[in-house]
């Protein structure tokens, strides 16, 4: 079958926009959930600022459970929940909900890693100055880890770009879906190449922006 490139570019444009919307929205909400989640898992662990066995022992396995479920299964399994939240179970909006659920625990883990890199001595110093746990979290932990947080959010964003390729299952659209639908299922190799090249460019750009931003924050 001959592709009509004049109209096809429009489709690619639409798919790119869908990818950006899905990844952007999912990143925003997953960040809003994941950042506090990561902070909570750090500060409630034994010997830390707000040590709390119960919270830590609940949050920690929950993160692992959600991270164990393959995204494609999660996508389908939570359809009733998706419908409850956004009123529909198909389309770009519907794909965002499972993406959030997929990325939030992942971001939580990444945030945890970033915060654990901070020298405990710095936290001790802040405690010795009479800083409250809140002050330590928002004026010591987060600013000290910021550069590393940015790098980890970059990783999470690229992970979302990958996961969003599966959004086609619920009619979410996006570049990944286009590559699968035309290139893989209909053997239109040119389409596949174009979309994959676009994805490569997007992932490269995200990584470069993340590196640059982290570098500026670390100012070296």
Partner 1 sequence: MIELKNVSKVFESGEKQVTAVQDVNLTVEKGDIYGVIGFSGAGKSTLLRCVNLLEKPTTGKVVVNGRDLTAISSTKLREARKKISMVFQHFNLLESKKVYDNIAFPLRLAGEDKPTIKNRVDQLLEFVGLSEQAEKYPDQLSGGQKQRVGIARALATSPDILLCDEATSALDPQTTASILELLKRINREYKITILIITHEMQVIRDVCQKVAVMENGKIIEQGSIFDVFSNPQTKTAQNFVSSVMNDRIPKSILHLLENDSRHIYRVTFVGDSTGYPLLSQVAKRFHVEVNVLHGQITELQDIPFGNLIIELQGKEDEIRRAQLYINQSVQLQEVLADAN
> Per CB under 8 A, which region of 76-84, 127-135, 189-197, 208-216 contacts partner 1?
127-135
| Distant-in-sequence, close-in-space partners of 110: CB < 8 Å, separation ≥ 6 | 34, 38, 149, 152, 153, 155, 156
What residues between 146 and 185 interact with partner 1 by CB under 8 A?
A: 146-147
**Using CA atoms, how far apart are residues 193 and 105, in angstroms rounded to an integer?**
32
- Examine residue 47 and tell whether it contacts partner 1 (CB under 8 A): no
Candidates 125, 197, 200, 209: give the one binding partner 1 (CB under 8 A).
125
Is residue 153 within 8 A of residue 107, CB to CB? The reply is yes
Task: Report the nearest approach of partner 1 to the CB of residue 136 (Å).
Answer: 9
Please, what is the angle between helix 5-43 and helix 189-218, to 10°?
40
The least CB distance from residue 140 to partner 1, in Å, is 7
| Residue of 214, 160, 179 lying closest to 20 (CA atoms) | 160
- Any contact of residue 130 with partner 1 (CB under 8 A)? yes
| Under rule CB under 8 A, residue 122 binds partner 1 | yes
Residues lying near partner 1 in the complex (CB under 8 A) are found at 119, 121-122, 124-132, 135, 139-140, 143-144, 146-147, 217, 219-220
């Amino acid at each position: 079958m001959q592709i009509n490139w004049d109209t096809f570019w429009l489709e690619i444009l639409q798919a790119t926009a869908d990818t950006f919307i899905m990844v952007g929205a999912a990143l925003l909400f997953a960040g809003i959930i994941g950042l506090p989640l990561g902070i909570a898992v750090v500060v409630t662990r034994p010997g830390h600022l707000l040590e709390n066995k119960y919270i830590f022992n609940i949050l920690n396995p929950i993160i692992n459970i959600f991270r164990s479920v393959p995204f494609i299964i999660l996508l389908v399994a939570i359809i009733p929940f998706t419908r409850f939240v956004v009123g529909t179970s198909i389309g770009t909006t519907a794909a965002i909900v499972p993406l959030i659920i997929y990325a939030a625990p992942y971001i939580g883990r990444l945030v945890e890693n970033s915060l654990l890199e901070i020298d405990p001595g710095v936290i001790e110093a802040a405690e010795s100055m009479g800083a409250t746990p809140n002050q330590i979290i928002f004026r010591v932990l987060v600013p000290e880890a910021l550069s590393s947080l940015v790098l980890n959010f970059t990783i999470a964003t690229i992970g979302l770009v990958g996961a969003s390729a599966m959004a086609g299952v619920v009619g979410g659209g996006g570049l990944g879906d286009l590559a699968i639908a035309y290139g893989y299922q209909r053997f239109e190799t040119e389409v596949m190449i174009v979309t994959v090249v676009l994805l490569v460019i997007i992932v490269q750009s995200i990584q470069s922006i993340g590196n640059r931003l982290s570098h500026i924050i670390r100012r070296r």
